Amino acid sequence: MSMAAMVRDVTREYVMDGEVVRALRGISLDVPEGDYVAVMGASGSGKSTLLNLLGCLDRPTSGSLLLGTDDVSQLADDDLSAIRASRIGFIFQSYNLIPQLTVLENIEVPLYYQKQLTTQNRRRSYELAEMVGLGDRLKHRPTQLSGGQQQRVAIARSLINDPFFILADEPTGNLDSATTEEILELLEKLNDDGKTIIMVTHEPEVGDRTKRIVRLRDGLIQSDKRTGR
């Protein structure tokens, strides 16, 4: 089975006010391609640190982190940036859309950074907008959209580069229950179509919709269980 990500004996330590904070204390985790994982745990458990490492926003203090077959744990900043742009899709609780840009332009933002805004890729951005149900909102700006519609834009943006996997950080945290259901159904469809998704959430009902729940506590994996979905 091919792996989207492999974490091996990873630690992450910070120095704050002269004290060493051990955010991750040596964790190992395999994420096969096509998996749908919820990372859960109390505040301070290490889940955001793990997400930052998987997203190439940070490096481990020790241990190795493989995306596919490439060890990214010791790469230079420019190399990490290139991997973030080309191989990882991000969905955030606060959407992180650019207010001045239209729906279509927000979807295409990763293409600008990679200088890959080709005719073929523009066609793909139209297709993704249609897929998330925003084909009739292409020229709208974020302030003209509901929270659920903004998150749909973010989902489409996360797919524009056909990433290795999608990292979702509390993607339903700002949404009401009906809109949460719509977003979860969309994520489930993406996973059914083969996309690997790793999601941080504090909501048990959201975690239960994934295929697997990894619980962290004090920088260690407390449990790792399949949900039966």
Whether residue 69 lies inside any domain: the answer is no
Mean of pLDDT values over 186-200: 96
Whether residue 196 lies inside any domain: the answer is yes
Whether residue 16 lies inside any domain: the answer is no
**What pairing do the DSSP bridges indicate for beta strands 197-200 and 36-40?**
parallel
Q: Which one, of 157, 109, 149, lies nearest residue 133 by Cα?
A: 149
Q: Which one, of 87, 101, 102, 98, lies nearest residue 134 by Cα?
A: 102
**Per-residue pLDDT at 82:** 87
Domain that holds residue 194: 34-60+74-226
Whether residue 20 lies inside any domain: the answer is no
Tokens for 93, please give them: 């609780």
Whether residue 21 lies inside any domain: the answer is no
Whether residue 81 lies inside any domain: the answer is yes
Backbone angles phi, psi at 58, to 5 degrees: -155, 165
Q: pLDDT at residue 120 above 90?
A: no
Helix (H) / strand (E) containing 172: none
183 contact partners, CB below 8 Å, separation of at least 6 = 148, 151, 152, 155, 171, 172, 175
CATH number of the domain that residue 113 is part of: 3.40.50.300
Per-residue pLDDT reduced to its tens digit, 198-216: 999 999 999 999 999 999 9
- Burial grade of 59 (CB within 10 A; 0-12, 13-18, 19 or more): middle
Number of structural domains, the chain?
Answer: 1
Instruction: Measure the N-to-C terminal CA separation of the chain; round to a whole number of Å.
Output: 19
Which residue do the tokens 């890729």 mark?
A: 121
**Per-residue pLDDT at 167:** 97
Per-residue pLDDT reduced to its tens digit, 12-38: 999 989 999 999 999 999 999 999 999
pTM of this structure: 0.93
Whether residue 166 lies inside any domain: the answer is yes
**Per-residue pLDDT at 229:** 78
Per-residue pLDDT reduced to its tens digit, 64-118: 999 988 899 888 888 888 888 888 999 999 999 999 999 999 999 988 777 777 7
Per-residue pLDDT reduced to its tens digit, 135-170: 999 999 999 999 999 999 999 999 998 898 999 999
Whether residue 139 lies inside any domain: the answer is yes
**Per-residue pLDDT at 102:** 97
Cα→Cα distances 197→21, 47, 123, 226, Å: 28, 15, 24, 14
